[in-house]
Amino acid sequence: MSGNGGAAATAEKNGSKMRVIRVGTRKSELARIQTDTVVAMLKTLHPGMQFEIIAMSTTGDKILDTALSKIGEKSLFTKELEYALERNEVDLVVHSLKDVPTVLPPGFTIGAICNTVGTSSLRRVAQLQRKFPHLEFKSIRGNLNTRLRKLYEQQEFSAIILAVAGLQRMGWQNRVGQILHPEECMYAVGQGALAVEVRAKDQDILELVSVLHDPETLLRCIAERAFLRHLEGGCSVPVAVHTMMSDGQLYLTGGVWSLDGSDSMQETMQTTIQVPVQHEDGPEDDPQLVGITARNIPRGAQLAAENLGISLASLLLDKGAKNILDVARQLNDVH
């Protein structure tokens, strides 16, 4: 594994060699749009570099006849991209943050969290079944195009639940019939955020992407991921969150549900975040928090966000959330 990104390709321009940064992504249309957005930002910030996008299929893209919660693999949409990163075939990869496990394989880190315009999910089903017991919920797999085709052309469903962020990125806002607010249905950890994963020792690339960090989104995602990791949650159990920042306070609401939504537990906590969140004295060390390396963001603010997530998870566990999650895992394995 290269420590300095020296294996990156080069290109000729005006007689001089330019480094070509190779960017890995999934092949789906939404993934390409998200990656194009990240590359466009990098081109603006680094006009002297060229970028090549390399698309590939992941395990999650190939297995379409089974609900994600039944597959049992934690890295369904990231593993193949990380293999390419490890083999030096790409220099960075772009993920939807919600697809990235809270513990990364050794040698990798999330070098940037971006905020862009921004079901088969147990989390959604559990919450909505509790509020709308008269509705029947069924699993649906595939990319956005496939899911919408099942709704409109094949008419397999009366309605489908999707993330607004994905529809907005595709330019399909007009297809949204109703937006579910947090009090109706909270979202997945990291929903709507983009993660740029790099080799942890590749300092050049880490420095290159670190300017993409959106400070508020970063801190919200650190809190959310710390909450999920301390609960030992994942796609096999219904765990959802909602975060917001207001007047120097970071608010985190988190909840757990039984598979049928009949049992649930939800709490809210907050912590003070010192402003400005953008570091003014230069970068600090690069120890990861929940898989994220955030340069130029004060360490104290990051730790406060992480502690908020851990504290909220501990509160729910003390109140009996572990039993709800254990039963949900067992039932999901059986059915």
Q: CA-CA distance, 218 to 322, in Å (whole number)? A: 27
Cα dihedral 64, 69, 71, 73 in deg (nearest 10): 120
The amino acid sitting at 269 is M
Name the DSSP class of 180.
P
At residue 65, the 3 state secondary structure works out as coil
Total residues belonging to the chain: 335
Give CA–CA dist 137/119, Å, rounded: 8
CA distance 224 to 243: 8
48 close to 31: Cβ distance less than 8 angstroms: no
* Cα gap 246→250, rounded to integer Å: 7
Q: Which two tokens stand for residue 249?
A: 């306070």
Separation between Cα atoms, residue 27 and residue 77, nearest integer Å: 11
Active-site choice (61, 99, 202, 214) = 99
Biggest CA–CA distance in the chain, Å, is 68
Cα 31 from Cα 39, distance rounded (Å): 12
Is 91 tagged catalytic?
Answer: no
User: How many beta carbons lie within 10 A of that of residue 179, not counting itself?
Assistant: 8
Please identify every residue annotated as catalytic.
Answer: 99
